[in-house]
Chain A
Amino acid sequence: MTDLIDILISASFWAAVIRIASPLILATMGELICERAGILNLGIEGIMVVGAFTGWLAVYQGMPLWGGVAVAMAAGMLFGLLHATLTIPFGLSQHVVGLGVTLLATSTSSFAYRLALPEVTSPPKIVPFQPLDVPVFSDIPFLGEVLFTQTAFTWFAFTVAVLVSLVLFRTPLGLAIRAAGENPSAVEAQGLSVTGLRMGAVIVGSGLMAMGGAFLTLSAFSSFFFEMVNGRGWICVALVVFGAWMPGKAALGAILFAAFDALQIRLQQTPLGADLPYQVFLMAPYVLSILALILMSRRAEVPAALMTAYNKGER
């Protein structure tokens, strides 16, 4: 018990929470935009792999770090375009297309990795984003270590969450995107293009997902390996539900999940960790997430037109 309290009051624990939450927040915002426009994007897991790989490769080939982020975003948008084209104008099943995009994106990444680096056995490293040492602020006890030793990419992720919230709820564009997810006919009747709005949302959302993936290679770890996304995409799909399709709540959910994750790593090193199989700890964040999901999402309001294709002029 005292171990647990020690962990919870340590600044390094909370710094880790923020760090682990960052890629989840980026990808969750991406998924949230797609779903608000009425499209379930199950390509998220694969698109994160693509982002992680392309971002890393670009930097490995000598591009600056932000250049790597931009490359990852562009690659994600490309897969987003594929997903959007199949699900929106063609109106194919969003589940099937999403899983297909995930499979395609994951295997394309590993194929390209083998092509690019045929003779490497251990994954090569790059120099990742470094912690931003904000003068004065980083000297504040506790808070300084938690908040002001993070990388610029983390700051970027949290800024994105705020921006997504502002755009969705404070601008005509956000209203139109939400309406496309609630009732596409209403959007059409007001002279807007449902196809355009939905495609835009899926493409931009996929770009964010890929940036979430790139965070893993460019900020968290410094090399690329195949299993690194490891179900984070699926967690983000759940986080959108957990957050009841609200950006703020979803970001909080990401932080909560990150806290469980950071906690289990640390608990493994306590005496308790010696007694229990380590798999129990690995499992804990997911089990707790499922419980939280059940508690939180019972009264959530799903976008009414989520997963319904819209074909203009059909009767």
Chain B
Amino acid sequence: MTDKNAQAEEFVLRLDGISKRFGALTANSGISLGLRRGEVIALLGENGAGKTTLMNILFGHYVADEGTVEVFGEPLPPGNPRAALAAGVGMVHQHFTLADNLSVIDNITLGTESLWSRGNGRAAARARIKALSRDFGLAVHPDARVGSLSVGERQRVEILKALYRDARILILDEPTAVLTPQETDALFDTLRRAIAAGLSIIFISHKLHEVIAIADRCIVLRHGKVVGEVDTHSTDRAKLASMMVGGEIALPEAEARAPGPALLRLNHVSTRAKGTATGLRQVTLDLCSGQIIGLAGVSGNGQAALADLVSGLVRPDQGSIEIGGRQPIVWSPREALRHRIARIPEDRHKTGTISDFNLTENAVLEGYSCPPFSRRGWMNWRAAESFAKDIIAKYDVRCQGPAQRIRLLSGGNMQKLILGRVLEPTPKIILANQPVRGLDVGAIAYVHSRLIAARDAGAAVLLISEDLDEIQSLSDVIHVMSEGRLSPGFARGSMTAAELGLWMAGQGFEGGEDAA
């Protein structure tokens, strides 16, 4: 046997010198790595470090500017997902690539048979899917409509898609971001079975404890480059974190404080479900001055309804709202603003900003109709611009100036502008919905420290997040939402992640279905 064959046996996958640029941004720069048979490697890095780009190149969604990919010793043609699939590469995307209106079986068999054939019938496909489900612990009904499945079930469908095609290499892009701790454990069980069956796995994450739990080897990316490679059995979270960030970052500490009076009370509030969004079921909640109230839960369990309710977009169908000690006559967004409720929206691109507006216009999106920004129906752009300049200086928004269009800003800088817009008028209640999603560690620390400062100044902060670590490190009181129900409040440090996970999965709630 020649040298080359020996190497091919060792590595099932090799990336060599991969570089990719998007305009001025270098997403990947000269990345090389190898994956052995039966091995799990973790790609660790912050948001924007280039992990997803790298995997999209491997899978053929993007074409690399430089570098080559070899699978089982054969070079993989660039930009061709079909070739990647045929070579045995299966990818579980972060944003699932499933068609909601089609059934599980349709989603799995899509593209597996020649388009010009009559097809082999569904019976055989169904039997195969059931066998795979059993072997790998991926329970899901083959005939269910994907749109009716939970997030965890959808992920199982994504994994089944790869297994159905006999994938030998499985790439999972941030697979645990949307799962409860228990679902994560089930996923890891599936992955261990896959390894036992001879598959190799690339696991992308920025959660350190998961990387240590599942991976054999960890490759750390920063700014598109490999900055380190470590054996996960001989490292710890602190070391990985400093490699990932490139230095120590002081994480803000929130010290417990005694809560002030309740600013907003919800008494047994129920709201109707809106389309696929869950409504609220008998939610009772106090938002007290000087407190961060953390709301944990898998997304889609009523957090959106609660956020809409607090910001005035939705009125309670049953129960009542009490604000400043009395019930508002008409509960509306205008009324909410009048009571100085500010919100950091969940999706800063879609609802938080208007991409084609400049920074000044975006800075006054909420206050534009009040003095000093407008008087007698006319905008006062000078006041608006000086407000924007204030925010830019105080919140360190890196930009060309207030006239720049906001779409050109990075996520972190966009969030800083929103933060300034929200916090500058010193609100009484702050609704922070996923305030750090997609931000890097530095920006996260900044946003968190600002929220803590606002709390210390007497505001009530309602923090909604899918990230349990974030909830646990910041919140004075933690509530869990599941199917529109709200758990009792748990004091800081009184619950472990696993205990919260059980609540997230719907255990512990009284009354069950009848509570509605």
The listed residue (B62, B93, B101, B112) touching A189 by CB distance below 8 A is B93
A303: B residues at CB distance < 8 A? 101
A186 touches B98 (CB 8 A): yes
The listed residue (B22, B107, B119) touching A171 by CB distance below 8 A is B119
B residues 112-154 near A (Cβ < 8 Å) are 112-119
B residues 63-93 near A (Cβ < 8 Å) are 63, 79, 81-86, 91, 93
* A141 part of interface (Cβ distance < 8 Å): no
B110 touches A186 (CB 8 A): yes
* A2 part of interface (Cβ distance < 8 Å): no
A175 touches B114 (CB 8 A): no
Which of A172, A188, A315 counts the most chain B CB atoms within 10 A?
Answer: A172
B82: A residues at CB distance < 8 A? 191-192
Q: How many residues of B contact A (CB 8 A)?
A: 35
Q: Which residue of A lies closest to B113 (CB)?
A: A172
Chain A contact residues: helix, strand, loop or mixed: helix
A171 touches B106 (CB 8 A): no
Q: Which residue of B lies closest to A173 (CB)?
A: B115
* A218 part of interface (Cβ distance < 8 Å): no
A192: B residues at CB distance < 8 A? 82, 110-111, 115
* A313 part of interface (Cβ distance < 8 Å): yes
A185 to B115, CA, bound (A): 18
B101 touches A190 (CB 8 A): no
A175 to B22, CA, bound (A): 34
CB B210 to nearest CB in A, in angstroms, measures 24
B116 touches A173 (CB 8 A): yes
The listed residue (A182, A304, A313) touching B61 by CB distance below 8 A is A313
B95: A residues at CB distance < 8 A? 185
CB A83 to nearest CB in B, in angstroms, measures 22
B99 touches A186 (CB 8 A): yes
B111 touches A182 (CB 8 A): no
A residues 168-191 near B (Cβ < 8 Å) are 170-173, 175-176, 178-179, 182-183, 185-191
26 CB-based A-B contacts, threshold 8 Å: A171-B117, A172-B111, A172-B114, A175-B109, A175-B110, A176-B110, A176-B111, A176-B115, A178-B99, A179-B102, A182-B100, A183-B97, A183-B99, A183-B100, A185-B97, A186-B98, A186-B107, A187-B111, A189-B91, A189-B93, A190-B85, A190-B161, A191-B84, A192-B82, A304-B99, A313-B63
Binding site for A on B (CB under 8 A): 22, 59, 61-63, 79, 81-86, 91, 93, 95, 97-102, 106-107, 109-119, 161
Q: A172-B119, A186-B98 are in contact. List 16 more A-B contacts (CB 8 A).
A: A171-B117, A171-B118, A172-B112, A172-B114, A175-B110, A176-B110, A176-B111, A178-B99, A185-B95, A188-B97, A190-B110, A190-B161, A304-B100, A304-B101, A313-B61, A315-B22
Binding site for B on A (CB under 8 A): 170-173, 175-176, 178-179, 182-183, 185-192, 301, 303-304, 312-313, 315
